[in-house]
Amino acid sequence: MYPKQTAKSRTAESVHQAIDSDSTIFILPDSNSFRNGHIINVGEDCPVFDGLYEFCQLSSGGSVAAAVKLNKQSAEICINWGGGLHHAKKSEASGFCYVNDIVLGILELLKYHHRVLYIDIDVHHGDGVEEAFYTTDRVMTVSFHKYGEYFPGTGDLRVWVIVEFQIVEVEKKFCEISKCVMLFQDIGAGKGKYYAVNIPLRDGMDDESYESIFVPIISKVMETFQPGAVVLQCGADSLTGDRLGCFNLTVRGHGKCVEFVKKYGLPFLMVGGGGYTIRNVSRCWTYETSVALGVEIANELPYNDYFEYFGPDFKLHISPSNMANQNTPEYLEKIKTRLFENLRMLPHAPGVQVQAIPEDSVNDSDDDEDKANPDERLTQAALDKRIAPDNEFSDSEDEGEGGRRDQRSFKGRKRPRLDKMDKNSDKHDLEDKIKQEDSKLDTKGDNDKDEKSALAEDLKKDTGPNP
């Protein structure tokens, strides 16, 4: 647990510049830029509301701050249930998502990790994250989603064949000439080819079928890609009974994905996502928080202010519906075979050249101390940062002969006090006194070395040669 962080405009600007140098539009509190809704796609499924800017700050700031914690090894697992807005694009909102906090968090992780794996178990395709890293081999995106006549309509595994027809006139007769164009969809492009992994699923996906395809695919991805950190989008709209979803997963089946990824022991960022049956979203993310912490919680819900919303059973776990599972074993096996074939096309786990680590987007230590209440006791972590061990050495600028190299700071030197100095004394006299003190310390150190060497020679003479 750590205090909430809000992303600043300069952070978002620098992150967008990391993708390209085009201008970026922001909805500021005192700005009327939302009036050009056609530019940034704000208005229909992404309406403007009071506090929108603050909401985007908290959502994106939480994921960026979590990534900083993972980079600094301050935590092994970080959770931002207010994030997971995977549909937002670089310059437009989409699908109830305004700012793509996942992309911002992954970009922060890439400062310290060569490769980052993104896994999406939302019922909708994570098109915004895939688009952001479509041409890079440092991020692999894996999305398990419903495909078909379903938003956003992307994330297919098949190779599309587009046939264009053209009618021409030949000798006063019309004939039809067809032109065939091959188009590879949703597998990546350029250096990122085959690094976009999509698993299109059908209605009625249940726990058993989901586990049968999730475990082998993620195992193969881990073996091939060898990521340094993992980001898991835990959209709860893939649960049974969701108002907009069409899967039949239970809370326990959804949580098995978290449990499986956690076993790899990598820096792990968990974010929220979709979910439109609110009581089940609360159940799901509560259970998955316990899975991340390794704590078992009871199935009976404790009494709280919202207890009545979880009736009539008032239980943590839910039962699947009688929805038919249209994902046959043959269909799932076909998907796995095709994906494994694509993964075999990857040459090796990509690396990156050695370079300077950029500055962290969130400097939480300074901000926390500045905002701390002076009347409250500092935390132990804040007190530990102020401890200066006595055995630390510091090198002065005059490290040459006669300098203070490898000597304790301000230890063993008697500096003249300025308040007792004669006002008429010359500045050169002060420098001479300091040099005299330094020479005394050097002479004392040399004498100590001579005494130690003489003592060692005497010991050798007394002991004699070894038999």
For 31-79, what is each residue's pLDDT tens digit? Answer: 445 445 445 666 678 888 899 999 999 999 999 999 999 999 999 999 9
Note whether 307 and 408 are same-domain residues: no
Could you tell me if residue 146 is inside a domain?
yes
Note whether 328 and 416 are same-domain residues: no
Indicate the pLDDT class of residue 15, thresholds 50, 70 and 90.
very low
Note whether 395 and 337 are same-domain residues: no
Q: Is 233 in a helix, a strand, or coil?
A: strand
Picking from 122-126, 137-141, 301-305, 395-399, which range would have the lowest pLDDT averaged per residue? Answer: 395-399
Of 307, 322, 343, the residue at which a domain comes to its end is 343
Could you tell me if residue 348 is inside a domain?
no
Is residue 124 part of an annotated ligand binding site? Answer: yes
Average pLDDT over residues 192-217: 96
Is the separation of the CB atoms in 275 and 281 below 8 Å? yes
pLDDT of res. 17: 47
Of 343, 373, 402, the residue at which a domain comes to its end is 343
pLDDT of res. 376: 78
Residue 309 reports pLDDT greater than 90: yes
- Taking the whole predicted model, whether its pTM rises above 0.75 is answered as no
pLDDT of res. 20: 42
Is the separation of the CB atoms in 145 and 199 below 8 Å? yes
Note whether 308 and 448 are same-domain residues: no
Note whether 393 and 335 are same-domain residues: no
Q: Which CATH number belongs to the domain containing residue 192 in this structure?
A: 3.40.800.20
Average pLDDT over residues 298-307: 94
Q: What angle do CA 180, 181, 182 make, to 5 degrees?
A: 125
Give rounded-to-5 percent helix, strand, coil for the chain. 40, 15, 50
Taking the C-alpha atoms of residue 341 and residue 377, their distance in angstroms, rounded to an integer, is 59
More confident residue, 27 or 185: 185
Could you tell me if residue 365 is inside a domain?
no
Could you tell me if residue 135 is inside a domain?
yes
Is residue 95 part of an annotated ligand binding site? Answer: yes
Q: Which residues are catalytic?
A: 87
Could you tell me if residue 4 is inside a domain?
no
Could you tell me if residue 99 is inside a domain?
yes
pLDDT of res. 119: 98
Taking the C-alpha atoms of residue 56 and residue 129, their distance in angstroms, rounded to an integer, is 17
Could you tell me if residue 351 is inside a domain?
no
Could you tell me if residue 2 is inside a domain?
no
Give the whole-number percent of the chain exceeding pLDDT 90.
Answer: 55
- Residue ranges making up the domain that contains 428: 388-467
Is residue 122 part of an annotated ligand binding site? Answer: yes
Number of domains the chain contains:
2
Longest dimension (CA), the chain: 121
Is the separation of the CB atoms in 288 and 259 below 8 Å? no
Indicate the pLDDT class of residue 183, thresholds 50, 70 and 90.
low
More confident residue, 141 or 8: 141
Note whether 399 and 275 are same-domain residues: no
Taking the C-alpha atoms of residue 320 and residue 233, their distance in angstroms, rounded to an integer, is 22
Note whether 330 and 419 are same-domain residues: no
Note whether 328 and 420 are same-domain residues: no
Note whether 313 and 437 are same-domain residues: no
pLDDT of res. 358: 74
Is residue 419 part of an annotated ligand binding site? Answer: no
pLDDT of res. 377: 75
Note whether 392 and 314 are same-domain residues: no
Indicate the pLDDT class of residue 350, thresholds 50, 70 and 90.
confident
Note whether 292 and 438 are same-domain residues: no
Note whether 299 and 408 are same-domain residues: no
Residue 24 reports pLDDT greater than 50: no
Average pLDDT of the residues of the chain: 80
Of 309, 343, 377, the residue at which a domain comes to its end is 343
Residue 170 reports pLDDT greater than 70: no
Residue 106 reports pLDDT greater than 50: yes
Residue 424 reports pLDDT greater than 60: no
